[in-house]
Amino acid sequence: MAEWGAGVPPGHLRDAVAHAAGNAHPRQCSCMSAPASSGTPQPGVPSDLAAASFGRLFTLALALSLGAAVSLGVTRFAYGLLLPPMRADLQWSYTLAGAMNTANALGYFLGALLTPGLLRRWGASGVLLLGAWLASAFMGLTGFFTDPAPLLAQRLLAGVASALLFIAGGLLAARLGAQMPARNGLLLGIYYGGTGLGIVLSALLVPALLERAAGVPHGWAWAWWVLALACALASAALAWPARVLVAVQAPAAGGSGAQAVFRWRDFAPGLAGYTLFGVGYIGYMTFVIALLREQAVDGGRITVFYSLLGVAVVASSRIWAGLLDRFRGGQPLALLNGLLGVATCIPVLTDRWPLLLLSGLMFGAIFLSVVASTTALVRHNLPPAQWAAGISAFTTVFALGQIVGPSMVGWIADGPGGLTRGLAFSAGALWLGALIALRQQPLAVQAVAAR
């Protein structure tokens, strides 16, 4: 029976969103490998959880999804809604405005490097709550500064905190799904769909708050404070799943991943295509609202645009399941990159409202599935012992792309042509990535395993 959340196979979802913002780690990948075939509860699972109904597991997954909402949907992507008023008030260049998201992506990368050690010391539940409360605090502190240096520092620290929260939440969601393998994909999909819920929440709050604060000095600060309050409420709600799941042990990792040899040249086209995806997608998410503002789109329509984008993110895993299962080469990465380039280019070519809505819907329905496509590529072409090394390689290049992307698009936007030329660059990066990814050929798994 097809279920929501099973759109990407459970393993693809689990590993993909562990590095959705660009930075997984081999230890994270291995510790998140939950069995999908055994119905036996994991050793160390509390008896009440082992005997829990699907309804209770569903509720736990829904509560955990608040972690994804805070870490990505709000902490990273809400900035796109706040960039236009902050830039106008503080007289930023687009380069500086883009650097704020570059700092956030760099912070996520650093946080991902710290997470394995923190998981060993405090466990997933402890790291989850630490990341949630720190992300809430850094969101709130952002509203107290106007100088670029402390704001850059706040965005970087918020990125570190969001990495702790998102990765720990993904780990707990994977362990939760292992308690009911038949519903594993649904439970994991609920957690990852929290990213879209955070985008929707930001879309509902920020434009309304900016309108109410019009004329107030630095009125955009109120949006940061209200978003921080929303994050704090979500952090408080996370205490329940963290407490229930604290005793759930990690499933044993299979294979000898530490001794596996991953050859980058085997995946060179896929790695290059994915790097360019990182460059292109983050440019859109950072600057598309600023472009809509330049096109005189009002606050109500921006709320609709960003809300529908978030809803499409929630639904996206179901849409592309067959594509990711069918092809073993770079075709899914190429197709999704190409379509994402079309979505990115629409606001460059027109300001017609129905087409702008189409752009947001397309983008939301695609961009997380590009991440899943690389996980599928690794799983199709490598033995399990090399999955962690393969996913780590893809997340490393993705991190580099999305660190570079916002500042590059901002720098272009400061020149002739403005934001339309900047987003045209993003679309071009995605299309180039699609062409390169088409050159990725399937590998013979047996030959790889025999190396």
Average pLDDT over residues 189-216: 88
Q: Is the four-CA dihedral 43, 247, 122, 114 of positive or negative sign?
A: positive
pLDDT for 39 equals: 43
pLDDT for 379 equals: 79
Distances (CA, A) of 397 to 13, 16, 141, 404: 19, 14, 31, 11
Highest-scoring range by mean pLDDT, 170-174, 178-182, 258-262, 297-301: 297-301
Average pLDDT over residues 300-313: 93
Considering only residues 98 and 255, tell me which one the structure prediction assigns the higher pLDDT: 98
pLDDT for 38 equals: 39
pLDDT for 397 equals: 86
Q: Ramachandran region of residue 122, left (φ > 0), alpha (ψ -120 to 50) or beta?
A: alpha
pLDDT for 116 equals: 82
Average pLDDT over residues 240-256: 66
Q: Is the four-CA dihedral 379, 380, 384, 389 of positive or negative sign?
A: negative
Helix-then-strand count for the chain, H and E: 18, 0
Cα–Cα dist 405/75, whole Å: 18
pLDDT for 24 equals: 38
Average pLDDT over residues 200-222: 91
Considering only residues 258 and 336, tell me which one the structure prediction assigns the higher pLDDT: 336
Average pLDDT over residues 375-402: 79
What is the SS3 assignment for 417?
A: coil
Average pLDDT over residues 11-23: 44
| Amino acid residing at 195 | T
Buried b (16+ CB within 10 A) or exposed e, 149-169: eebbbbbbbbbbbbbbbbbbb
pLDDT for 343 equals: 96
Considering only residues 173 and 409, tell me which one the structure prediction assigns the higher pLDDT: 409
Q: What is the token pair recorded at 173?
A: 């969601």
Highest-scoring range by mean pLDDT, 43-52, 136-145, 441-450: 136-145
Hunting for tokens 């998140």 — which residue is that? 32
User: Of the given ranges (101-105, 114-118, 261-265), which has the lowest mean pLDDT?
Assistant: 261-265
Average pLDDT over residues 408-431: 94
pLDDT for 166 equals: 86
pLDDT for 9 equals: 41
pLDDT for 372 equals: 76
Rounded to two decimals, what is the model's pTM? 0.80
pLDDT for 29 equals: 36
Average pLDDT over residues 202-225: 91
Distances (CA, A) of 19 to 162, 171, 237, 279, 416: 12, 12, 24, 15, 35
pLDDT for 15 equals: 47
Which CATH number, 1.10.10.10, 3.40.640.10, 1.20.1250.20, 2.40.40.20, labels domain 10-449? 1.20.1250.20
pLDDT range class, residue 21, cuts 50, 70, 90 = very low
Q: Is the four-CA dihedral 176, 70, 429, 420 of positive or negative sign?
A: positive
pLDDT for 48 equals: 55
Q: Is 51 a residue whose pLDDT tops 70?
A: no
Q: What is the token pair recorded at 294?
A: 């330049």
Average pLDDT over residues 360-368: 91
Report the 10 Å Cβ neighbour count for 203.
26
Average pLDDT over residues 41-48: 48
Q: Are 81 and 303 in contact (CB under 8 A)?
A: no
Average pLDDT, the chain: 82
pLDDT range class, residue 248, cuts 50, 70, 90 = low
pLDDT for 373 equals: 83
pLDDT range class, residue 185, cuts 50, 70, 90 = low
Of 377, 339, 333, 332, the closest CA to residue 359 belongs to 339
Q: What is the token pair recorded at 308?
A: 């529908």
Cα–Cα dist 259/383, whole Å: 12
Considering only residues 330 and 374, tell me which one the structure prediction assigns the higher pLDDT: 330
DSSP H or E segment with residue 307: helix 299-319
Of 367, 361, 364, 372, the closest CA to residue 327 belongs to 372
Q: Is 138 a residue whose pLDDT tops 70?
A: yes
